[in-house]
Amino acid sequence: MSSRTARRIVPGESSPYEPPEDAAESARLPDGGPGAAGGIPAPRLARAMLIAVLLSFLLITILNITRETMRPYMLVIGLVSLGLIFALQLRHSAAGAARASGRAKLLTLGLQAALTYVPLFFFRSEWGAMAGFLAGSVLLLLPTWIGWSLYGCIGLTMLCLPMAEGEPLYDSAYYAESTLLCGLVVYGFTWLTELVVRVQATRGELARTAVANERLRFARDLHDLLGYSLSAITLKSELIHRLVLSHPERARDEIGTVLTISRQSLADVRMVASGYRKMSLSQEATSAGSVLSAAEVVVEVAIQLGPLAPQVDTVLATVLREGITNVLRHSEVRYCTIKAWEQDDRAMLSVVNDGVDPGRRDPSPHRGTGLGNLAVRLGDVGGSLIASVRDDGCFEVLAEAPLRPVGPVAVQESEPIA
């Protein structure tokens, strides 16, 4: 068994010819989305509903204490206390309030508890709704078991305090039940607002990710489909330049080949925005043999595969294109072998060429990330890609893919390069 060093190409990696590129910058889209109602963004609407619920409970308490005959200063104290409780509740229901420091939470909860229970001795049952705010706050800010325990204790105090003052059991149970219900409403609406904000943020992130992925797909398609074509056009043009005076007939034939490749490149550009195009491994192998022969590279082609699924045929043909593109970039290559065979219900493709310096790195800013792109394509159908420099100094790209792909990949019909 050979002791060559091999490495599996993973998405984002490059070949020994190509150093890794920086990751593509994510696309930026404005947060937000379709209006939830009347053009109002969903997070803003959810926040408005929460404030409306809090104001409703606050208004009920104001109506309760103002209908009782009391001294004006007591009414002022009550209204100021309600304003402070409302401000504290807004703080407790704000996004990220649960991530505040323990000291800050204890301070605000302690102040809210004082503003809740002290006025009870003056306003009695008319103040009861404010205990519901406190019950909701402990659920929002404290750890689960502590919050629910205190929630129950607050409901129990609203049962015992009225009974201690001589209120009937029915009325005391009503105060306790309304307190617990108010706490649940505050807790539920706060979490509803938080969830809406998170969903909206997630939607924005998904949109940015989708755009970034589409950009990467577009870049991969351009690289994989056009890299080979442009390299072939360059090579053929150089050959024509050498032959035009000495062998005009052959130069004319090569010009026809260049025109064919150019037309195919134009078709590739038009189709790259709409998804993958259907390619044939056997036809790509024939084209590769013709191009490499024109570059005076000895080529051995052995395709021993039957009909393949369109997804597998396309991705293996794309691997072959990238392998030949790498070969064309290195003038010292003298021979290349292209082999494909079936092994254990998997399609195998090997592209081997000589003339490789393992320590070489392409300094060009346009070097690309071809083999990393191919790893993405193969991964989509359940395959893998391994690049290695063998003991004899040859570079090998070995791709494998299942004969029955595991993931759907949309392909479109297109004529191969002649």
pTM of the model: 0.47
Please check the confidence at residue 33 and state whether its pLDDT lies above 50: no
Tokens of 75: 């009414």
The mean pLDDT value for 183-188 works out to: 91
Gap between the Cα atoms of 327 and 65, Å rounded: 88
In the chain, the percentage of residues whose pLDDT exceeds 70 is: 75
Least confident residue range of 78-82, 91-95, 355-359: 355-359
Gap between the Cα atoms of 41 and 59, Å rounded: 27
The mean pLDDT value for 111-119 works out to: 89
pLDDT of residue 376: 80
Query: Which ranges in 165-309 belong to alpha helices (H)?
Result: 169-246, 248-272, 281-294
| DSSP state, residue 404 | S
- Count of CB atoms situated within 10 Å of the CB of 55: 12
Please check the confidence at residue 366 and state whether its pLDDT lies above 80: no
Please answer whether residues 85 and 136 qualify as being in contact, where contact means their C-beta atoms are separated by less than 8 angstroms. no
Least confident residue range of 5-14, 235-244, 381-390: 5-14
Please check the confidence at residue 57 and state whether its pLDDT lies above 50: yes
Gap between the Cα atoms of 57 and 59, Å rounded: 5
